[in-house]
Amino acid sequence: MAVSFEELTKELKSKNIRLSHQRLKILEFIYNNKIHPTVDEIYKEIQKEIPTLSKTTVYNSLNALIDAGLVKVITIGEHESRYDIVTENHGHFKCDSCDKIIDFEIDIDAFASKELKDFEIIYKDVYFKGLCPDCNKMKNKNLK
Amino acid sequence: MAVSFEELTKELKSKNIRLSHQRLKILEFIYNNKIHPTVDEIYKEIQKEIPTLSKTTVYNSLNALIDAGLVKVITIGEHESRYDIVTENHGHFKCDSCDKIIDFEIDIDAFASKELKDFEIIYKDVYFKGLCPDCNKMKNKNLK
DNA sequence: TTTCTAACTTGAATTGATTACAAGTTTATT
DNA sequence: AATAAACTTGTAATCAATTCAAGTTAGAAA
């Protein structure tokens, strides 16, 4: 993790958010596995280490981490939410075939529109959808 | 409507999609009210004209219109889907306070990233969130 | 026009992600 | 060690969205 445990806890204390064992594990998992996991994927993985884990805790923890500004929700899939660590601006590409979400570099801030000068913009997301290189290759092969 | 009824039906026929009375009303409503409505808003409105309307029909119709490329889903809100007519590139700003979704001009195609050259990109969405001018003004007033 | 079939509509039942709630547990602080 | 607030847990509830089966509609073919 980029920030130390102490720094993190201190930063969170101002918001009355505790970095409990469960929450730390969840944060670690998202940080170490940049796969934009669903709640279910997080739950199943952490449950291996904490067998008493409840799914409600995963939801609660994620919401706490979101409030703390450490995690963000990706609503690119129409149904299940997926979660990502908050980092510099990047866009998300979701493959309609294999459901993978792939990061790509993008300077979202370059989009400062004059139209939005009176708006307070807090989040910026760029979502692309289509076929990833692997699935695209597969499709072209099958057409031959 | 920009396209005539005949053109539309013909265009849809190739996909075996009929532009039924219900579907036409739903399409008209989305086209005439650029409020990015929820299924419930559409249902309640069209029900005034077609009292026997079922919510399943609204879902079915929207999905058919999406397949036909006439309507698109906006997943900017974490829960309910919202629907929009397909037009030129524009971004969506969602106000976290009043929940309104506001269009803004943006040249999404300018984002052609070299990173994505092997991807087949079918949809591009830009979602911003924060406070709209009205809610922003209100907040600043209350802070004084 | 009549017939036929595929597409469509409808409402009830179901699914599945997410939240609400209440009871017990943990943790930081005094 | 005592206290209180935050946290975890499992169950129950919520609610958007889908499935399903039966009846209806509409357009193509005869």
Domains detected in chain A: 1-87 (1.10.10.10), 88-144 (3.30.1490.190)
Average pLDDT over residues A15-27: 92
At B88 the three-state DSSP class reads: coil
Taking CB atoms and an 8 Å limit, are A118 and B105 in contact across chains?
Answer: no
Q: What is the largest CA-CA distance in chain A?
A: 60
- Count other Cβ atoms within 10 Å, centred on residue A46: 19
Average pLDDT over residues A54-67: 96
pLDDT at B1: 46
At A143, the pLDDT band (50, 70, 90 cuts) reads low
- Count other Cβ atoms within 10 Å, centred on residue A59: 14
Tokens of B115: 């990173």
Strand partners, B126: A126
Q: Residue B136: list chain A partners with CB under 8 A.
A: 118-120
At B15 the three-state DSSP class reads: coil
Q: Report the Cα–Cα distance between both ends of chain B, in Å, rounded.
A: 47
Taking CB atoms and an 8 Å limit, are A128 and B118 in contact across chains?
Answer: no
Higher pLDDT, B4 or B109: B109
Work out the minimum CA distance from B71 to partner chain A, whole angstroms: 15
Determine the Cα–Cα distance for residues B129 and B116; give it in Å rounded to an integer. 25
Determine the Cα–Cα distance for residues A118 and A134; give it in Å rounded to an integer. 43
- Closest residue to D17 (CA, C1′): B59
Nearest-CA neighbor of A95 among A87, A103, A107? A103
Q: Running DSSP on this structure, what letter comes out for residue B51?
A: T
User: pLDDT tens digits for B37-96?
Assistant: 999 999 999 999 999 999 999 999 999 999 999 999 999 987 899 999 988 788 999 998
Taking CB atoms and an 8 Å limit, are A75 and B73 in contact across chains?
Answer: no
